[in-house]
Structure 1
């Protein structure tokens, strides 16, 4: 095993997270320093992943547009995306109501949750749920939502990291790029391909810092959140992690059947992507590793993969839907709200809608979209935001992992019927027996036999001459 693979091995990451949890509990200052170092990795990934997402989208749209039945195939992709997110929210609503999380909390646990809210109120905690980084640039006659969805400056949304605006700009340019003849786009295609490979190399080298990030992130969370808060929210976290594991396993089964391989092999191929999604905190950091694993290693269509992986990370937010539904059920039971079948239907629909509305948002903005689900049930969203702020970083990694697996399942379903692009292993190639076959025509065979006869006579006469002497 090489040194780079050793650094990104799951057991290495697990050990770093365990050490980080212990360090954050007893030496929180060390955890803050390690988290600062790990933040350099996030900065590098954020700088590289967005341009890579754009370039991959260009190539994906061009290759998918060349496939047969383009419109029905794209329609099928959209329908499966809706079904995956809605299905995740439905399973969470159903299983969450059966588990009845939040209804049997002790008085001590309720007092701990109340103290979190009181500390937030006393400290004057202010949470900005809207990205106001562009308020210095006035936008006339346009609403903020319209600017986020249809940007008037593609370079600005790319620099600000607005995923929804990047998706719209990439789609429009990619469709125009795909409509042009190959002869006219050959030079640009070579430039984009070189940029694509360079960006992949940068992220591959940056992934060597993942153990430091895993250590610092875990230490920072334990130092900031504390064991008492995690224990108070244990029922909600436990149900959320259980649902992520079950739904993630179901997605892996879909991928394994599409690739005609074992579940263990799928997990092995996606190992690097899962580790990055779990530890980095960024929903797009694992894009290059996932594209390589799904296409060259598992054999799914390269065009489908390059199109769905970048865009699916923005829209197919199955993990976010599970998180919203889990929080809504927990808060409802926390306030002794008995959920009727109509309420459960409302949780399902609102969690699905909020997951799609949160497309392109990260961090505290996700908490703001939770309030849409809570307000639909007439629950006090403002009062529980401090609780959600304390637990959201813990749920961010598993949330990204489930969304990644949902996108992989979407890719497997959309690639059905297309030829496999699995790349043979180098070890297997070397182990294969090498055989050569010579095929000669009649004239070539006669010429060969004649030359052999002449050589034989020549050797015979030479031997007789040497013997006579």
Structure 2
């Protein structure tokens, strides 16, 4: 059953006028938010609840959408060995490209050296500004992360909205239904009907996307100001160009080998990407990504496993940011890292990046976790980039989002279950 046939795509109707397209509405809202935030900063800051309310609306449906997609997908596969095979392929992909993203950030940081010449004395930095992030990073541990994946109860995973907890419960429940027989089939049929209603709810919520993007962008510009970019323009520009290079070249090659164009995929996801840009959160477009990947010919089971896990384990943009930002801080504070120290930095970043959710601020927390384990790097140096982190958060989210879309198509092809005709059709219309 194709959920998208009955949910996010309405029955054929007269062509919409230009202003009826969601991506144009979001783009106009972002531009309006920038203008309000720049010329009326106080008003821009006051509009923060609009962005927060929209993200809360989206988070309201994320857990049930993920749960229903995974359960019905796994239960429909029947062959449980294929579930493990899909998961293994997905994690192999995540590990390779997440590590590659860290290496790319490290290489660019050493070549461009965006922090060189600032000559900052670490003792002069205000560590209090980053104390809260450092505290959150200190609380994190591998054991704590693994234990946090297990919910207190079956229902608490859905009510608290923890993506990894929902993933664990959904996989277990899907396997249970797949091994239950005829009774399990009746439950799956019921859940598929419930899925139709939830994806219709997603479509309703997405109509508020322009309002959310407007409020979030007005707040960002109003609070931090466009002028704050000037002081660290070199770092921000380097990060954006490096991320663009990774998407267009690295992921572009991967896409070409998988038989599709990265540019056409980006055009296909333009509405969701603009929403991510406006809200600085890739989670805001997660339900829509699930639907669009199914429409692009990826099987439901693969989409259900790859997309949610990718939001915690396939963070290409966050990984580029961590090594690049760490080197920027070291260079700005005149701390010369040896090759061994940079390898240590790479290893620590690879571990600390796992489990970072695709939400605003997660990249900064994982950076704090990385710096706190490398003694020669001053954690207080994060105060240097605190003012522009919000602007880099947008690029992190965009890169993470595109990376997960590519991963879904690639794993579907590896499984031999990609609907080539559907993929060509949706990408051909962009």
TM-score by length of 2: 0.82
Q: Are 2:399 and 1:399 equivalent residues in the alignment?
A: no
The residue that corresponds to 1:383 in the other structure is 380
Q: Which runs of 4+ in 1 moved over 6 A?
A: none
Q: Are 2:354 and 1:340 equivalent residues in the alignment?
A: no
CA deviation profile, 1:146-203 (whole Å, cap 9, x unmatched) = 541222323224322222322222222222223332x222222122212222222222
| Residues 282 and 397 in structure 2, CA contact (< 8 A), matched pair in contact too | yes
The residue that corresponds to 1:160 in the other structure is 160
| Residues 283 and 359 in structure 2, CA contact (< 8 A), matched pair in contact too | no
Partners of 2:21 and 2:51 in 1: CA distance: 14
Q: How many residues align?
A: 404
The residue that corresponds to 1:45 in the other structure is 58
Partners of 1:269 and 1:103 in 2: CA distance: 39
Partners of 1:62 and 1:388 in 2: CA distance: 46
The residue that corresponds to 1:241 in the other structure is 240
Of 24, 35, 48, 2:48 maps to: 35
CA deviation profile, 1:110-149 (whole Å, cap 9, x unmatched) = 69x999x55x85x998558549xxxxxxxxxxx8545412
Structure 2 vs 1, CA of residues 294 and 332 (structure 1 numbering), >3 Å: closer, same or farther? same
The residue that corresponds to 2:190 in the other structure is 191
| Residues 43 and 222 in structure 2, CA contact (< 8 A), matched pair in contact too | no
Q: For residues 107-122 of structure 1, what are the structure 2 equivalents within 5 Å?
A: 118=126, 121=128
The residue that corresponds to 1:460 in the other structure is none
The residue that corresponds to 2:370 in the other structure is 373
| Residues 252 and 267 in structure 1, CA contact (< 8 A), matched pair in contact too | no
Q: Secondary structure at the match of 1:286?
A: helix
Partners of 1:400 and 1:124 in 2: CA distance: 21
The residue that corresponds to 2:230 in the other structure is 231
| Residues 64 and 303 in structure 1, CA contact (< 8 A), matched pair in contact too | yes
Q: For residues 244-283 of structure 1, what are the structure 2 equivalents within 5 Å?
A: 244-249=243-248, 250-255=250-255, 257-258=257-258, 260-283=259-282
- Report how far residue 228 of structure 1 moved: 3.9
Partners of 2:84 and 2:68 in 1: CA distance: 22
RMSD, matched Cα: 3.2
Partners of 2:251 and 2:165 in 1: CA distance: 28
Structure 2 vs 1, CA of residues 365 and 306 (structure 1 numbering), >3 Å: closer, same or farther? closer
Rg comparison, structure with higher value: 1
The residue that corresponds to 1:462 in the other structure is none
Partners of 2:64 and 2:18 in 1: CA distance: 24
Structure 2 vs 1, CA of residues 6 and 251 (structure 1 numbering), >3 Å: closer, same or farther? farther
The residue that corresponds to 1:220 in the other structure is 219
The residue that corresponds to 1:19 in the other structure is 32
- Report how far residue 216 of structure 1 moved: 2.1
Partners of 1:59 and 1:328 in 2: CA distance: 42
| Residues 251 and 408 in structure 1, CA contact (< 8 A), matched pair in contact too | no
The residue that corresponds to 1:431 in the other structure is none
- Report how far residue 274 of structure 1 moved: 1.8
Q: Secondary structure at the match of 1:284?
A: helix
The residue that corresponds to 2:100 in the other structure is 87
| Residues 302 and 421 in structure 1, CA contact (< 8 A), matched pair in contact too | no
- Report how far residue 89 of structure 1 moved: 0.7
- Report how far residue 70 of structure 1 moved: 5.1
Partners of 1:378 and 1:58 in 2: CA distance: 45
Structure 2 vs 1, CA of residues 125 and 20 (structure 1 numbering), >3 Å: closer, same or farther? farther
- Report how far residue 47 of structure 1 moved: 0.4
Structure 2 vs 1, CA of residues 355 and 3 (structure 1 numbering), >3 Å: closer, same or farther? farther
Q: For residues 132-211 of structure 1, what are the structure 2 equivalents within 5 Å?
A: 145=145, 147-181=147-181, 183-211=182-210
Partners of 1:124 and 1:228 in 2: CA distance: 21
Query: Which consecutive unaligned segments of at least 5 residues does structure 2 have?
Result: 1-14, 138-142
Partners of 2:157 and 2:299 in 1: CA distance: 29
| Residues 177 and 184 in structure 2, CA contact (< 8 A), matched pair in contact too | yes
